[in-house]
């Protein structure tokens, strides 16, 4: 059994349902302490966070991830207990195997191998762990980043272990993520009997032309790394429940997934301009739910990870900014180069979540070679 597989099994066996860590950070800390890492536990509310660092010089390379997992779903639909790590036909099954305890194990074994072979390496290595990524994400990585920011402790490179790959481990590096901007729009009218249209103002009718224009608007054309910004309605609420009453208001909830080609302010201004042009009486509350977009163009980190993948897997990874959000959005505030690379994402959050055993060792070697390329060569 490889060291990476063994550690992944120890972590999967912990029932770390978000926001609980259930001892995962202690397991990892016990592996890092003998390597001369200073361990700093940062607990906020129910959330356990760890900032572990070896060395005080630059460049500083950080491995970031989360120990918490999503709920299992019906356990009777799993082929084996989700918190009893089980190897079948070369696959390791268990909640968190791919998202992302397998990556955490690979982080640790890569660091152990690197430090054993290069104890006097230049620069510094860090790990940032949280148990609040799968949940509301308010007391996790963002809190650690705030602390580091306050004391001027900045990162040079960060690798987040999110499952990024599609067909083969190493085929996809996430070098950025779109931002998320939500709005709750309330359009006002005049309620009344549906049989007397001259005495009412139907807010649904009033809002419809504006909705059509918002839907048809090209917000931007994206760029080399990002698709065009998307505007989508998620919910519409209007009416009293009666079929003979025109409602007094209609509430429309919408979301932008936006690229670096647009800013939050520019999107807000354009929405208000459209609503004002249609002469609506409205209220609009904004929520920047998942932070700004971030992007790491080709450079030292992307090149090092790509070369490591080519050496281990024999493939050239694709750069992608697709998908949802990750804690990389917080880390980008103190780190100019943030990427995500982990195992296949086909089974994450599903029944019978799993990762190939051989992929765990491949990941560990990719992380190890990345350290070589950035701190030794």
Catalytic residue numbers, as ranges: 68, 133
Q: What would the two tokens of residue 151 be? A: 């004391």
Query: 344 vs 99, 151, 170, 172, 261, CA distance in Å?
Result: 9, 36, 9, 9, 29
C-alpha–C-alpha distance, residues 111 and 37, integer Å: 11
Round the CA-based radius of gyration of the chain to a whole number and report it: 24
Q: What would the two tokens of residue 320 be? A: 């992608």
Please name which of 137, 141, 147 lies closest in space to residue 128, comparing C-alpha atoms.
Answer: 141
Please name the residues in contact with 351: beta carbons below 8 A apart, sequence gap of 6 or more. Answer: 72, 73, 74, 77, 78
Q: What would the two tokens of residue 90 be? A: 């070369």
Q: Are strands 49-54 and 294-295 parallel, antiparallel or unpaired?
A: unpaired
Query: 6 vs 67, 107, 108, 197, 350, CA distance in Å?
Result: 16, 13, 12, 71, 22
C-alpha–C-alpha distance, residues 288 and 160, integer Å: 22
Q: Please state the length of the chain.
A: 377
Q: E strands, 115-266, where?
A: 124-130, 157-160, 172-174, 176-177, 179-188, 192-193, 230-238, 245-246, 249-258
Please name which of 346, 327, 348 lies closest in space to residue 338, comparing C-alpha atoms.
Answer: 327
DSSP 197: G
DSSP 240: -
The string of DSSP letters for 64-104 reads EEE--B-----GGGSSS-TTS-EEETTEEESTTIIIIIHHH
């Amino acid at each position: 059994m490889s060291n990476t597989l063994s550690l992944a099994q120890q972590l999967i066996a912990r029932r770390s349902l978000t926001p609980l860590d259930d001892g995962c950070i202690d397991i990892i800390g016990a592996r890092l302490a003998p390597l001369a890492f200073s361990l700093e536990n940062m607990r906020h509310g129910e959330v356990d966070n760890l900032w572990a660092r070896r060395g005080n010089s630059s460049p500083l390379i950080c491995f970031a991830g989360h120990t918490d997992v999503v709920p299992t779903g019906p356990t009777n639909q799993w082929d084996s207990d989700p918190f009893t790590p089980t190897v079948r036909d070369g696959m390791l099954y268990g909640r968190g195997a791919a998202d992302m305890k397998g990556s955490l194990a690979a982080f640790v074994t890569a660091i152990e191998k690197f430090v054993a072979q290069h104890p006097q390496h230049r620069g510094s290595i860090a790990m940032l762990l949280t148990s609040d990524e799968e949940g509301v994400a308010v007391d996790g990585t963002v809190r650690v980043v705030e602390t580091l920011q306050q004391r001027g402790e900045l990162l040079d490179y960060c690798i987040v272990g999110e499952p990024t790959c599609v067909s083969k481990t190493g085929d996809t590096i996430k070098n950025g993520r779109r931002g998320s901007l939500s709005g709750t729009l309330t359009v006002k009218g005049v309620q009344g009997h549906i049989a007397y249209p001259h005495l009412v103002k139907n807010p649904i009718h009033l809002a419809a032309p504006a909705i059509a224009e918002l839907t048809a608007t090209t917000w931007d054309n994206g760029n080399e790394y990002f698709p065009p910004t998307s505007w989508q309605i998620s919910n519409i609420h209007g009416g009293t429940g009666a079929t003979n009453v025109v409602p007094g208001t209609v509430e429309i909830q919408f979301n932008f997934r936006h690229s670096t080609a647009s800013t939050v302010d520019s999107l807000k201004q354009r929405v208000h301009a459209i609503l004002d042009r249609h002469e609506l009486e409205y209220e609009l509350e904004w929520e920047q739910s998942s932070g700004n977009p971030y992007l790491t163009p080709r450079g030292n980190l992307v090149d090092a990870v790509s070369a490591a993948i080519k050496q281990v897997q024999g493939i050239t990874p694709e750069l992608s900014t697709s998908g949802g959000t990750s804690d990389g959005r917080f880390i980008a505030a103190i780190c100019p180069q943030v990427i995500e690379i982990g195992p296949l994402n086909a089974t994450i959050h599903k029944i019978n979540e799993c990762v190939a055993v051989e992929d765990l060792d491949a990941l560990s070697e990719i992380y190890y070679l990345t350290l070589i390329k950035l701190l030794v060569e």
